Copies of this chain bind each other. A is one copy, B any other.
């Protein structure tokens, strides 16, 4: 039985760039444990998130659907109550589907009220938590203004002797100056200082502990655990010794050109005016923050090593499919931008390592795949791993199972294009550009070589990733590339028209019903 139902450990980092891992080519960053996962599995180097911002990206990961289909286009946009998630698809296969960490899910209060769904019932909890059993829900950002007094991690910190109402902030995400004065980790100028928390009490350590608690408790019944770390997402503050593990000499030079800033695309120009972009364009900021970002990655890596060792000790390692990915990247000053949201590789490309312990996957261990992979591929991958049939759900799921790639099966026609979306209605850039709230969207299409970006109300962009991997030269206006631009534009139109919206009837059912009206007695058009 256990052989047919492997566990699924679905690890997500937050804001982890695809290129900030040793196994993805970072020259100075140490991630030996994640690299070891890559050696045991397939390292997908062209994986894209469906939206380079937490909320919509995650809802795509959890529903297996593009943002334009699930509708939760930005952070804190509630997922519609009748969007199916990973939990809905795996529970019928006998899986316990749990969350430890972050989802960025916001409950659709109005939708639940309209349908009389009580959030305190077990069904209401699942709908509120986008289908996960919230073994430990912690979205990891807790300003004093909005901290839940009962946040479990805060309770844990208090038990360890940390004081205050919100030790998440005052200890784990604060530092001290030489006089013992508390300095908030929300301010990037403090990023070089160690957090006021011992490493073993840090958020990353605690989250890992809770994952182990779940795995111990779950025992031998099949489980899917979404282990979702908040780091290396801001606040950029690491506990000792990770705060001092890297220095300015270890960081990659910024990918940016003067031309990008002097003559920007209007939308990117507006984003460059955001505080995070202005700050990250300064070398002082990059040199202070990026070493800490890297330290947080190495810390995460160490805890993944700890977790893998734990799985092995539990006898579960050979029975657990492991995925390591991230919801999106971080500009870190590349292209004169901070944060994420737009479609340059540092923002939109994500790490994606899939370790299938089963014999069938032996032929691909340690390999690198350049296939275009999308976040939405994980739900079908997990459904098929669990013994389900993702193709029976192809009226809902928009991704493709990665198992054929992981098992080295013959794959006739993989996807030609990957897509990602942005809805920046909430950002000052939208106001600066004087756009209505519903018309501040952008869409990315890439075929692996070319990247096309369509902006509502603004001209498109085109980059040649082969000759310009840093995406410094927009060639959309170059007459040599008109055909390419039109081809990608056509691909976007086709994509927009083909989304899976008829989610209440499966394609197989349609096939069964085709031409059946006469059989059912509806004799139209008969003389």
Contact = CB atoms under 8 A, between A and B. Distances in A.
A279 B524 CA distance: 10
A439 B511 CA distance: 12
Contacts of A511: 437
A115 interface: yes
Contacts of A514: 425-428, 430-431, 437
B71 A510 contact: no
A438 B500 contact: yes
Contacts of A526: 186-188, 275, 279
Contacts of A428: 514-515
Contacts of A527: 187-189, 279, 282, 285
A131 B355 CA distance: 48
Contacts of A504: 71-72, 77-80, 108, 110-111
A131 to B, nearest CB: 10
Interface stretch (A26-34, A141-149, A471-479): A141-149
Interface residues of A, number: 93
Given A425-B514, A430-B514, A438-B394, A234 B501 contact: no
A70 B274 CA distance: 36
Contacts of A141: 522
B498 A497 contact: no
B513 A426 contact: yes
A423 B498 CA distance: 11
Most buried by B among A143, A515, A522, A525: A525
A242 B503 CA distance: 43
A115 B127 contact: yes
Contact of A497 (B114, B338, B454): B454
A441 interface: yes
A69 interface: yes
Interface of A: 68-74, 76-82, 84, 88, 108, 110-111, 114-117, 121, 123, 127, 141, 143-146, 184, 186-189, 234, 274-280, 282, 285, 338-339, 394-395, 423, 425-428, 430-431, 436-439, 441, 443, 454, 456, 489, 492-494, 496-505, 507, 510-511, 513-515, 520-527
6 residue pairs, one from A and one from B, having the closest CB atoms: A276-B525, A143-B521, A496-B496, A186-B523, A71-B501, A145-B521
29 contacts: A68-B497, A68-B501, A71-B503, A72-B504, A78-B504, A82-B111, A82-B114, A82-B115, A111-B504, A115-B123, A146-B521, A186-B524, A186-B526, A188-B526, A276-B524, A278-B525, A280-B525, A285-B527, A338-B524, A339-B524, A394-B438, A426-B514, A428-B514, A428-B515, A436-B507, A438-B507, A439-B498, A492-B497, A493-B496
